[in-house]
């Protein structure tokens, strides 16, 4: 009989601190650079009638496990039904014999591991004195990115913009209660990024809303929202102008922020500076000076889910958290 550990969303939240997640995701990038991992092709099904997405990401990481994430994203869930936009599960299998180890909620892990990836991009690419953050999108990811950035940089202020003004108001109230730095609502993307050292784009947009002429020298951009074909948040001229670092070359060319600039002939693979793992492993340099514009294109990797969920699994075993059942 195979004993399987079941972890709820609340279990996972109680087990993982943001520092735990950042450490696990940095491990994932190191495995990516050393190629001690494998990523399966992503399966994405659009649920056109309800404007939803169904996605499967899987792979394995040596010294961790095999992992599969099945996730749905329905952007209208909160206003229509009072439900979270993200819903899904992660299943872990033992690498050496394939036995099922654990099944756990995927929503929280997806949020925090993406925040951690953005923070690592900033850690290695942003100016060291970066303190002012602009956030495009007052959703779960807009929150997670700031929470993670706060672990690696000394944030002093956050300006948030969302097309839904009430979401931005709610964001300011909630985040102000959690953090000591100044958080305020911006009335447009342009005013949000005016004095920003770091710009986070975290929306499901299919058209650019951050324009090239607004971008000042020295800024770092975390491009988070574009994670499937057709999505775009930035003026492609920004991408052509920046030092571009990606989480995974193949994924980003197909489904990242850089996809549009490549299609338009403004950027080629040879123009992409590095995968983030190459910088973490010190195979390539990060930021060269305080004037260059850096861009981290993050599409989200299954190995990030695997290392983070495996960390939750091991912590749960140590602390006796979760429910165990038998399969077979």
185/175 Cα distance (integer angstroms) = 11
| Same domain, residue pair 138 and 246 | yes
236 and 147 within one domain: yes
Q: What is the mean pLDDT of the chain?
A: 96
Q: Are residues 36 and 94 in the same domain?
A: yes
Domain that holds residue 226: 117-300
Nearest to 258, CA basis, from 211, 291, 299: 299
Q: Could you tell me the pLDDT band of residue 1, with boundaries at 50, 70 and 90?
A: low
d(CA 284, CA 111): 28
Question: Catalytic: which of 3, 49, 57, 69?
Answer: 69
46-59 pLDDT, tens digit per residue, is: 999 999 999 999 99
Based on the number of CB atoms within 10 Å of its own CB, is 237 exposed (0-12), middle (13-18) or buried (19 or more)?
Answer: middle
Kindly tell me if the per-residue pLDDT of 2 is higher than 80. Answer: no
Domain total of the chain:
2
Please count the CA atoms within 13 angstroms of the CA of 48 that sit on its side-chain side: 0
CA distances from 24 to 3, 117, 131, 183, 312 (A): 24, 10, 24, 28, 10
Residues 287 and 152 placed together within one structural domain of the fold: yes
Same domain, 294 and 265: yes
- Model confidence pLDDT, tens digit, residues 108-129: 999 999 999 999 999 999 999 9
* Residue 201 token pair: 């784009």
CATH of the domain at 95: 3.30.1780.10
Is 128 annotated in the active site? no
Question: Same domain for 272 and 141?
Answer: yes
Length of the chain: 328
């Amino acid at each position: 009989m195979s004993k399987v550990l079941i972890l709820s969303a609340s279990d996972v939240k109680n087990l993982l601190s943001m520092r735990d997640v950042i450490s696990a995701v940095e491990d994932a990038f190191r495995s990516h650079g050393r190629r001690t991992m494998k990523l399966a092709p992503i399966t994405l099904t659009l649920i056109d009638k309800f404007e939803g997405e169904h996605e499967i990401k899987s792979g394995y990481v040596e010294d961790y496990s095999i992992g599969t994430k099945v996730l749905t994203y329905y952007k209208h869930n909160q206003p229509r039904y009072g439900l979270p936009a993200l819903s899904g599960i992660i299943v872990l299998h033992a690498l050496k014999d394939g036995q099922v180890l654990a099944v756990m909620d995927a929503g929280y892990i997806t949020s925090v591991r993406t925040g951690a990836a953005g923070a690592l991009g900033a850690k290695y690419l942003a100016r060291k004195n970066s303190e002012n953050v602009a956030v495009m999108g007052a959703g779960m990811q807009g929150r997670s990115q700031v929470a993670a950035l706060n672990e690696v940089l000394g944030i002093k202020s956050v300006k948030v913009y969302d097309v839904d003004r009430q979401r931005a108001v709610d964001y300011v109230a909630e985040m102000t209660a959690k953090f000591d730095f100044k958080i305020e609502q911006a009335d447009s993307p342009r005013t949000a990024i005016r004095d920003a050292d770091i710009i986070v784009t975290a929306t499901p947009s299919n058209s650019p809303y951050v324009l090239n002429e607004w971008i000042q020298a020295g800024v770092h951009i975390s491009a988070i929202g574009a994670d499937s074909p057709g999505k775009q948040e930035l003026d492609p001229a920004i991408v052509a102008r920046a030092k571009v670092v990606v989480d995974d070359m193949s994924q980003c060319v197909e489904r990242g922020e850089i996809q549009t600039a490549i299609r338009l002939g403004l950027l080629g693979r040879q123009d992409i500076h590095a995968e983030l793992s190459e910088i973490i492993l010190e195979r390539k340099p990060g930021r060269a000076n305080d004037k260059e514009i850096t861009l981290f294109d993050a599409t989200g990797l299954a190995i990030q889910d695997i290392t983070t969920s495996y960390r939750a699994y091991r912590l749960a075993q140590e602390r006796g958290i979760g429910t165990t059942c038998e399969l077979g």
